[in-house]
Amino acid sequence: MPPARSSRGGGRPTVFERQAPPAGLVDEALDGVRDACFWLEDVGDVVTYPVLTAARTADLLVVGGGYTGLWTAVKAKVRNPAARVVLLEAQTVGWAASGRNGGFCDASLTHGEDNGRARWPDEYDTLERLGQDNLESLAKAVDALGIDCELERTGSLDVAVEPYQVEQLLEGGGDVLDAAAVRAEVDSPTYLAGVWHRDSTAMLHPAKLVKELARVATGLGVEIFENSSAESLETSGRSGPVLVRTPRGSVRADRIALATNVFPSLLARTRLLTVPVYDYALMTEPLSQEQRDAIGWHNRQGVSDMANQFHYYRITPEGRILFGGYDAVYHYGRAVRSAYEDRPATYRTLASHFLTTFPQLEGIRFTHRWAGAIDTSTQFCAFHGLAKQGRVAYTAGFTGLGVAATHFAADVMLDRLSGERTPRTEVAMVRKKPLPFPPEPAAAVGINLTRWSLDRADHREGHRNIWLRALDAAGLGFDS
């Protein structure tokens, strides 16, 4: 076993450093791994949509073909079957975060209770209820629309892997499991305690959800155009249609819903409200029956540990394990580039941490490795807004917990575009905007200093340094 190492800031090595496997086992596990997203390869026959090559008119134009845009288009047609709805996607539907995430469909709209209570203490109970109602509504829609996305109401486990994290679990309450009980659910020698959130999380196949939403949308009459990037948004006067141009066509619409998330917004006012942070994941080969017996996991919960730099993982119906997280990487200039997905050191770290978590799976191989950019906001959950005298709605900033929250955001945008006041539109989380990130070079300096500080906190029993405490005081408390 290699010697344990600590962070650059010093402190106690983490369990993943104290119990790191030999380098040879990591090499063996990664031998033959491919640079490809498992989910996007696992959807079956690929459906393609045409390029926009002419001028179109619409009642509603949706810009963006991920979950947010597709749910918005589907819901618009369900609300008004006669509405003319057009959706533009710059590449192919679901190719970015919506097809690459871990498939954790969590009820939280606030990126967890701690973040929600810190930012909206007076409304948190309402936000929690709205989030749970939204998850129930999403599950009902999946059933009613015949969406085959492998939705499972498994719940999720938060696990403590360091002693100080056990104390945090006990302070949070809930269905707390001691070491024996949590290991009876998922057997890892790293687990010291856990909390099972039984009703607030579902697991699903992220790329199948995209494919099915697109199928349902076209079946309802939505026109989807791929490889048709929206290049500009133009208005004339304070009323009347809005014009969006693409390289080979245009759409003139009464209302616009912007669902571009991590990618540059057509509205200058929102361009500093998000930064792209890259997240990385591995997928194993299917486990043998002996391997599955060795880890248990019969209830198939999603799992995440409680570090600042946390891991998330889940088991698929066919018995593969997705293991992701830990590194959250920002690149100077807010750029989103495929080259950033090639990060061998991060994949080696994930493989090492996987084998520490499940040493009984020694000899397993990873088949896929991939990455994706998360649209991160300073409030660590989605923000919402209106522009152009109420003709343009937008939402972004889901910060990695958007599978269910995009369903909520679609309703928010449609409510606001129609001028409706609903319980969704009245909460402060929807009405107020987060603070912007600074321009470069301050953004890169601040984000990377924060990353370093979070790593240091993980090596110092969670104690936050003066930089993190200053961010907390300013309402910018950063989580990974």
Residue 396 lies in a domain: yes
d(CA 174, CA 170): 8
Whether 168 contacts 306, CB under 8 Å: yes
User: How high is the mean pLDDT in each 10-residue block of the chain (480 residues)?
Assistant: 42 94 97 97 95 98 98 98 98 97 97 92 97 98 98 96 92 85 98 95 98 98 98 92 98 98 93 95 98 97 95 97 96 93 97 98 98 95 97 96 97 97 97 94 94 94 92 70
Whether 6 contacts 17, CB under 8 Å: yes
**The pLDDT of residue 474:** 79
Cα–Cα nearest to 135, from 91, 199, 228, 215: 199
Interaxial angle between packed helices 405-417 and 124-144, expressed in degrees from 0 to 180 and rounded to the nearest 10: 100
Residue 295 three-state SS: helix
**The pLDDT of residue 302:** 98
Q: How many CA atoms lie within 13 A of 312 on its CB side?
A: 19
Residue 451 in tokens: 């990353």
Residue 259 lies in a domain: yes
Residue 76 lies in a domain: yes
Residue 304 lies in a domain: no
Pairing of strands 250-258, 242-245: antiparallel
Residue 94 lies in a domain: yes
Residue 362 lies in a domain: no
Pairing of strands 193-197, 321-330: unpaired
**The pLDDT of residue 278:** 96
Residue 136 lies in a domain: yes
**The pLDDT of residue 366:** 98
Across the strands, what pairs with 106?
Answer: 201
Whether 169 contacts 160, CB under 8 Å: yes
Across the strands, what pairs with 312?
Answer: 304, 324
One DSSP character per residue, 106-161 reads E--SSSSHHHHHHH-TTTHHHHHHHHHHHHHHHHHHHHHTT--S--B---EEEEE-
Give the CATH number, domain containing residue 80: 3.50.50.60
- Domain containing 249 equals 55-150+203-274+378-431
**The pLDDT of residue 398:** 96
Cβ-in-10-Å burial (0-12, 13-18, 19+) of 336 comes to middle
Residue 403 lies in a domain: yes
For the chain, the domain total comes to 1
Q: How many CA atoms lie within 13 A of 397 on its CB side?
A: 25
